[in-house]
């Protein structure tokens, strides 16, 4: 599956929401939809690493440079 920058941005927002305690909501990446309440922060971060690796190496480095905070 080809991921897009929009998918990556959606995951970043989900991570921010989750970290702020907003556990109600959902994220759609490609054709898959995941409710925030159904995943852990570690799972969202793992998904982000997978998507970032296929979108752009620059995005992955920026994420790491920001300490994993988008």
9 lies in which domain range?
5-54
Q: Give CA–CA dist 63/59, Å, rounded.
A: 6
44: in domain: yes
66: in domain: no
Q: Give CA–CA dist 18/12, Å, rounded.
A: 10
38: in domain: yes
Model's pTM, two decimal places?
0.61
Per residue of the chain (70 residues), give pLDDT as tens. 688 888 899 889 888 988 888 776 777 877 888 776 777 889 889 989 999 988 865 544 555 556 555 5
Q: Give CA–CA dist 33/27, Å, rounded.
A: 6
Please give the tally of structural domains in the chain: 1
60: in domain: no
Q: Give CA–CA dist 59/21, Å, rounded.
A: 25
Q: Give CA–CA dist 11/44, Å, rounded.
A: 7
pLDDT for 49 equals 92
12: in domain: yes
Paired tokens of 67: 């300490």
């Amino acid at each position: 599956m080809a991921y897009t920058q929009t998918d990556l941005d959606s995951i970043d927002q989900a991570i921010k929401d989750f970290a702020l305690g907003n556990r109600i909501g959902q994220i759609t990446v490609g054709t898959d939809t995941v409710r925030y309440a159904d995943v852990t922060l570690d799972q969202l971060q793992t998904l982000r690493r997978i998507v970032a690796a296929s979108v752009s190496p620059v995005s992955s480095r920026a994420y790491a440079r920001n300490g994993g905070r988008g």
